[in-house]
Copies of this chain bind each other. A is one copy, B any other.
Amino acid sequence: MSERGAAEGGLRERKKRATRAALAEAAIRLAAEHGVDKVTVEAISAAAGVSERTFFNYFDTRDDAFVVIDSEATDRVRAALLAAPAELSPLEALRDALAAELAGAEQDHELWGLHAGVLRSAPHLLVRSLGAHMADETALAEAVAARLGTPVAVPDGAGPPGEEERRAALELYPRLLAALAHTAVRVGVEHWCSRREGDSFAEVFQQVFTLLAAGLPAPTR
């Protein structure tokens, strides 16, 4: 498993992290070997050396064990977005922040591969995974807004009249950009997976953002 930040905290927190990691890893390995829906919570717990009840102290749902890899990734993307050079457009800054994170993710190669295989074999888990990422979307939108110096949400009934429309557009933009981030990643991954060989993932990713920045023109044959 990833060792990022594994040495911090007292014995208690280290043990907790270890238990969670053990459960998640056991879940993925068992799923990769026997198929997702043949893996019971009982089996996962046994493989991780804890009781079945403890599993549910760490994951709300059996499926959650197959989904969450790195809960800090979204924080890093946000930080990268805020730290990006000011001369980059919001779209460019977002592109670079995502590219950096995705490049880093390719380090944890073995588990990432197993994960990809498991998610590909179980669409409903893929959906769940996307949903988990989506939960961070509001936070990402706020980061975009902060970069623009624009509030993503404002209290009711404030501001002079006539400003409504402009404010609405300003709030829409960060939301849209944050949503596009996940869409871009998803489409990039799907397209990249659907082709046995060819472009590297980074290249596909660039293509996606090129199309977005160009306003989605009809491609020429």
Contact = CB atoms under 8 A, between A and B. Distances in A.
Interface stretch (A15-23, A33-41, A178-186): A178-186
Contact of A91 (B165, B179, B196, B216): B216
B212 A215 contact: yes
A169 interface: yes
Interface stretch (A5-13, A49-57, A103-111, A187-195): A187-195
A27 to B, nearest CB: 19
Contact of A216 (B171, B207, B213): B213
Contact of A153 (B91, B134, B194, B199): B194
A95 to B, nearest CB: 10
A208 interface: yes
Contacts of A196: 156
Interface stretch (A75-83, A113-121, A123-131): A123-131
A203 to B, nearest CB: 9
Contact of A221 (B128, B170, B177, B199): B170
B173 A211 contact: yes
14 contacts: A127-B130, A127-B131, A164-B198, A168-B191, A168-B198, A168-B199, A169-B207, A175-B187, A175-B190, A176-B211, A176-B216, A180-B180, A212-B212, A214-B215
Complex A-B, nearest 6 residue pairs according to Cβ-Cβ distance, in ascending order: A127-B131, A215-B215, A183-B183, A91-B216, A213-B215, A179-B187
A148 interface: yes
Contacts of A183: 176, 179-180, 183
Nearest to A186: B179
A188 to B, nearest CB: 8
A162 interface: no
A150 interface: yes
Contacts of A211: 172-173, 176
Contacts of A217: 89
A173 to B, nearest CB: 5
